[in-house]
């Protein structure tokens, strides 16, 4: 079936597993923008973008952390390497990271309770705005498709690993 | 008055024509391919099988897509929106028409009819065009978000969510072009159907009663 199906539907709401995946994404985003700003490679619009988005990701991380409670998975390690070599590399990596977040949230929407769904829906469109924003600054296609395809958990983890995340 | 009819536009190649001047012409191909996935919903998932709630939600989404598609199509045809904004109007217009086509296909005979629109010159004024585009896209994001939780068919939920984030991308794009922050808050709030429809009505862009054209009486045929 060609329709973008809800991936990995596992029957009853599987909030914790999904929230842990989302936590990994939000931790990565928060670390990525923090490292980019610390690296001193950004100025102008890209610096403003990174500042604003870092703030958003910190809020997302706070919401997901609160939902998970005390028993959090171990912090991953980050080595963004050449993705922070210069402003252009940062912008490309940021777009890929935000696209990954969109695909991850959309891919997991069918696996969560209505409560988590409602919060995730308020986050995912902000991630999509970030993805389009950084592309707009770089004069690249902000919205290359008519629909955003969902991603599987494995696709998400592979993308994060390629960006320098080690769990 | 808009002459939008997505099926006709598809048939006569106007979608492709809209992109003829774009260096990023592959965008259209990608857009239509993705919507092709939407259109490929199995027959059993289509109108005959849609629940009353899903039919209601899809018709509401179709109404918003009609509005957006007509708006961008008219802006493109006005030739008054130039440069990056003109390019965005072409690209986003093609995508919104594809959304209309997808919902029409899903809803079949249950689809609401397209109203007439009167954009009151907004599509010929670059600043007003962008300001209105920002408002429409932000509204669409809030509207889809408000409905996603109501949808009963998993396949329709998935399709709606995939469109929801594309509308958010459009919102950020138009905001950037207009010179305002593409993402203001960390969380995008939903809007209820009632709120959205009231805002749309306030614009005065939707003309409820089609103008009756004066027609010559048919000749007497005996």
Banded model confidence at residue A110, pLDDT cuts 50, 70, 90: confident
Confidence at residue B47, expressed as pLDDT on a 0 to 100 scale: 60
Chain A segment 15-44 residues within 8 A of B by beta carbon are none
Cβ distance of B159 and A126 shorter than 8 Å: no
Distance in angstroms (rounded) separating the CA atoms of residues B69 and B98: 9
- For the cut 50, the answer to whether the pLDDT of residue B13 exceeds it is no
Least confident of A65-69, B101-105, B122-126, B215-219: B215-219
Q: Cα separation of B155 and B41, whole Å?
A: 8
Which positions ≥6 away from A110 have C-beta within 8 Å? A6, A7, A9, B154, B157, B158
Please list every residue in chain B whose beta carbon sits closer than 8 Å to the beta carbon of residue A141: 24, 27, 91
Q: What was the pLDDT predicted at B220?
A: 52
Over residues A30-45, mean pLDDT: 98
The span from the CA of A44 to the CA of B2, in Å, is 40
Q: Sorting pLDDT into bands at 50, 70 and 90, what band is B43? A: very low
Provide the CA B55 distance to its chain's centre, in angstroms.
17
Cβ of B176 within 8 Å of Cβ of A56? The answer is: no
User: For A13-37, what is each residue's pLDDT tens digit?
Assistant: 589 999 999 999 999 999 999 999 9
Q: Is the pLDDT of residue A83 over 70?
A: yes
Q: Which of residues 117-136 of A touch B (CB under 8 A)?
A: 117-119, 121-133, 136
Using CB atoms within 10 Å of the CB of residue B212, give its burial: 0 to 12 exposed, 13 to 18 middle, 19+ buried: exposed
- The pairing of beta strand B116-117 with beta strand A165-166: unpaired
In sequence order, what are the residues at sequence separation of 6 or more whose Cβ sits closer than 8 angstroms to the Cβ of residue A126?
Answer: A56, A60, B168, B183, B185, B186, B187, B188
What pLDDT is attached to residue B1? 31
CB contact under 8 A, A121 and B187: no
Across the interface, whether the CB atoms of B158 and A126 are under 8 A apart is answered: no
Q: What is the ipTM of this complex?
A: 0.92
A77 bridge partner residues = A166
Task: Let me know: does B46 contact B155? Beta carbons within 8 Å.
Answer: no
Q: For A113-134, what is each residue's pLDDT tens digit?
A: 888 999 999 999 999 999 999 9
Indicate the pTM of the whole model: 0.85
| Angstrom distance (rounded) from CA A59 to CA A71 | 19
Closest CA to A156 of A67, A96, A112, A114: A96
Q: Considering only CB atoms, which chain B residues are within 8 Å of A133?
A: 172, 176, 182-183
Question: What is the band of B158 on the pLDDT scale with cuts at 50, 70, 90?
Answer: confident
Chain-chain contact of B30 with A144 (C-beta, under 8 angstroms): yes
pLDDT for B168 beyond 50: yes
Give the mean model confidence (pLDDT) for residues B119-146. 97
Cα distances from B77 to residues B123, B132, B148, in angstroms, run 9, 17, 33
Spatial distance between the Cα atoms of A89 and A44, rounded to a whole number of angstroms: 16
CA trace torsion B161, B162, B164, B168 (10° rounding) = 140
Percent of chain B residues topping a pLDDT of 70: 72
Helix (H, G, I), strand (E, B) or coil at B209: coil
pLDDT level of residue B49 (50, 70, 90 thresholds): confident
- Pair of tokens at residue B50: 């849609």
Q: What letter does residue B111 receive in the DSSP assignment?
A: P
In this prediction, residues B176-184 reach a mean pLDDT of 98
Higher pLDDT, B64 or B14: B64
In angstroms, rounded to a whole number, what is the distance separating the alpha carbons of residues A69 and B195?
Answer: 35
- Total CB pairs under 8 A between chain A and B: 176
Q: State the number of CA atoms in the 13 A half-sphere of A77 facing the CB.
A: 3
Average pLDDT over residues B98-113: 92
- Asked if the Cβ–Cβ distance from B161 to A55 is below 8 Å, we say no
Would you say residue B210 has pLDDT above 50? no
Confidence grade of residue B11 (pLDDT, cut at 50, 70, 90): very low
Is B102's pLDDT higher than 60?
A: yes
């Amino acid at each position: 079936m060609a329709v973008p199906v809800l991936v990995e539907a596992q029957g009853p709401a599987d909030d914790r597993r999904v929230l842990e995946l989302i936590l990994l994404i939000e931790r990565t985003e928060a670390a990525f923008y923090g490292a980019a700003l610390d690296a001193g490679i950004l100025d102008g619009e890209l610096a403003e973008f990174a500042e604003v988005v870092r703030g958003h990701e910190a809020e997302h991380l706070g919401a997901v952390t609160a939902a998970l409670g005390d028993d959090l998975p171990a912090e991953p390690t980050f080595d963004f390497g050449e993705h922070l070599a210069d402003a252009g590399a940062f912008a490309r990596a940021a777009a890929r990271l935000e696209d990954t977040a969109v695909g991850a949230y959309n891919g997991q929407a069918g696996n969560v309770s209505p409560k988590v769904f409602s919060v995730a829906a308020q986050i995912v469109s902000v991630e999509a705005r970030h993805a389009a924003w950084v592309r707009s600054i770089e004069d690249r296609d902000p919205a290359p498709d008519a629909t955003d395809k969902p991603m599987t958990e494995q696709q998400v983890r592979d993308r994060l690993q390629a960006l320098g995340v080690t769990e | 008055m808009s002459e939008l009819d997505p099926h006709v536009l598809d048939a006569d190649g106007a979608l492709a024509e809209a992109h003829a001047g774009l260096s990023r012409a592959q965008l259209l191909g990608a857009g239509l391919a993705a919507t092709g996935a939407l259109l490929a919903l199995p027959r059993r998932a289509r109108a005959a099988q849609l629940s009353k709630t899903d039919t209601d939600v899809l018709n509401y989404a179709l109404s918003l897509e009609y509005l957006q598609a007509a708006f961008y199509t008219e802006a493109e045809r006005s030739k008054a929106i130039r440069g990056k904004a003109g390019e965005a109007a072409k690209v986003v217009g093609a995508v919104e028409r594809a959304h209309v086509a997808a919902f029409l296909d899903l809803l079949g005979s249950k689809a609401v009819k397209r109203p007439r629109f009167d954009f009151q010159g907004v599509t010929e004024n670059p600043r007003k065009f962008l300001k209105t585009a920002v408002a429409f896209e932000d509204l669409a994001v809030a509207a889809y978000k408000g409905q996603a939780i109501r949808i009963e068919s998993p396949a329709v939920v998935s399709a709606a969510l995939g469109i929801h984030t594309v509308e958010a991308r459009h919102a950020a794009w138009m905001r950037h072009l207009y010179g305002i922050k593409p993402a203001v808050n960390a969380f995008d709030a939903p809007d209820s159907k009632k709120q959205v429809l009231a805002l749309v009505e306030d614009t005065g862009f939707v003309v409820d009663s089609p103008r009756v054209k004066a027609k010559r009486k048919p000749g007497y045929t005996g």
